[in-house]
Each structure stands twice: as C-alpha cells, then as structure tokens.
C-alpha cells in the first residue's frame, strides 16, 4: 500500500507542472493552508536531485511571499479572524507564538522555520503584533530557507540509492508512522 503511494508521489514530483504546484503549495501554506511544502519538496528533490537547489529556492521564495500575505492578514484582519481562530486548534499555538515574539522578537520568526507550530501561525502573529516588516521578511528568508535547503540537499545527496532504499522499506516505514500517529493521538487524548 505505502509503496504504491510512494511511487505515485515520485511520479507526481516528475510532472511537468510540479514546480508550479510546489510554488502554490509553499505560498498557501504560509498563510492559510494546512499542508507544509515539505511533502512535495522532498519527493521532488529525491526524484530530480539535479534540480533540488532550484526547488528549495522556489519553496523558500514562495513560502516567504505567502508569509507576507499571512503578515497582512494578521496586521489588517486580525480582529475579523480572531473569533474563528479562537474556535480552532490553532488558538493555543497562536498564543504560544505570541509569547515567543514577546520573549525573543526577531528570533521567533527565525525559529518558526523549524518549529512544530505551523509557520502560518507565526506570520499572522507577526502581523497582529505589528512586528517590523523588513526584519520579518529577513528572518523568514533565513529560517524557511535553511529548512528547505537542508531538506532538498540531504535528499539530493542520497539520490537514486536513497530512493531505492526508501522504496524497499516504504511499507514498514508507513506502518511505523501510522502506529506512531495512533499512539500519539492516544497519549494526547489521555493527557488532555
């Protein structure tokens, strides 16, 4: 089952419009969409290692542009979206991001590139808290760029050898991930 999904993901990553889809996903994830661009960047870098740097650059640029939209949402529309945000699972993450901004300022957005808290929460919080715009963009470029280039370069370095090894163990890895998600959900439900 997971090998078929893996093969399909690699096929999609070789599609002639894959880079456009990657840009759209990177842009939308930074302000409103829940799926991170890593899910597309990783198979693309793995399937076409010679273009991994280009894919990482596109992901970074469009992620930061989407972050600018998220910043604008927070800056201009926070009062309008606040009731919706409070009714979702993002509210607690927003409050944590807000605390990080108060404690660390500029560095909060840099750390957001590697945080388990969705980047869109940080972009909206940066706008709502009226963080200076240019430091926001700079920190976003550095934080997001570091993450995406690291992913792309590691997978590109593995190349065909990594691709075939992953395929060989994909069913086992897939079931391990499913098991971890089920265990994590159980622990979360039990504790909260």
Residue indicated by tokens 């893996």: 6
For the ranges 2-11, 36-45, 51-60, the maximum mean pLDDT occurs at: 51-60
Of 12-16, 89-93, 116-120, 167-171, which one has max mean pLDDT?
89-93
| Side-chain half-sphere exposure of 169, counting CA atoms within 13 A | 8
Block residue for tokens 């715009």: 133
Percentage of the chain with pLDDT > 70?
81
CA gyration radius for the chain? 18
Q: What is the mean pLDDT of residues 75-95?
A: 91
pLDDT band at 9 (very low <50, low <70, confident <90, very high): low
User: Quick one: pLDDT at residue 154?
Assistant: 87
71-96 core/surface letters (b: 16 or more CB in 10 A; e: else): bebbbeebeeeeeebeeeebeebbeb
Question: What does the alpha-carbon distance between residue 112 and residue 108 come to, in Å, rounded to a whole number?
Answer: 6
* Alpha helices (H) along 38-132: 38-47, 52-86, 90-104, 106-112, 119-128
Query: What's the pLDDT score for residue 3?
Result: 60
User: What predicted TM-score, i.e. pTM, was given to this entire model?
Assistant: 0.78
pLDDT confidence of 4, banded at 50, 70, 90? low
């Amino acid at each position: 089952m997971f090998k078929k999904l893996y093969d399909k993901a690699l096929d999609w990553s070789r599609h002639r419009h894959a880079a456009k889809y990657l840009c759209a996903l990177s842009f939308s994830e930074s302000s409103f969409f829940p799926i991170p661009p890593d899910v597309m960047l990783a198979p693309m870098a793995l399937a076409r290692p010679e273009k991994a740097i280009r894919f990482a650059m596109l992901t970074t640029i469009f992620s930061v542009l989407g972050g600018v939209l998220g910043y604008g949402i927070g800056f201009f529309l926070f009062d309008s979206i606040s009731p919706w945000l409070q009714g979702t699972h993002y509210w607690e993450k927003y409050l944590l991001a807000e605390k990080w901004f108060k404690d660390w300022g500029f560095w909060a957005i840099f750390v957001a590139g590697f945080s388990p808290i969705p980047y869109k929460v940080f972009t909206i919080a940066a706008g709502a808290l009226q963080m200076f715009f240019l430091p926001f963009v700079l920190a976003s470029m550095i934080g997001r760029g570091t993450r995406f280039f690291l992913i792309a370069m590691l997978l590109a370095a593995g190349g065909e050898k990594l691709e075939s090894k992953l395929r060989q163990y994909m069913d086992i890895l897939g079931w391990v991930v499913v098991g971890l998600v089920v265990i994590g959900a159980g622990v979360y439900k039990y504790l909260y």
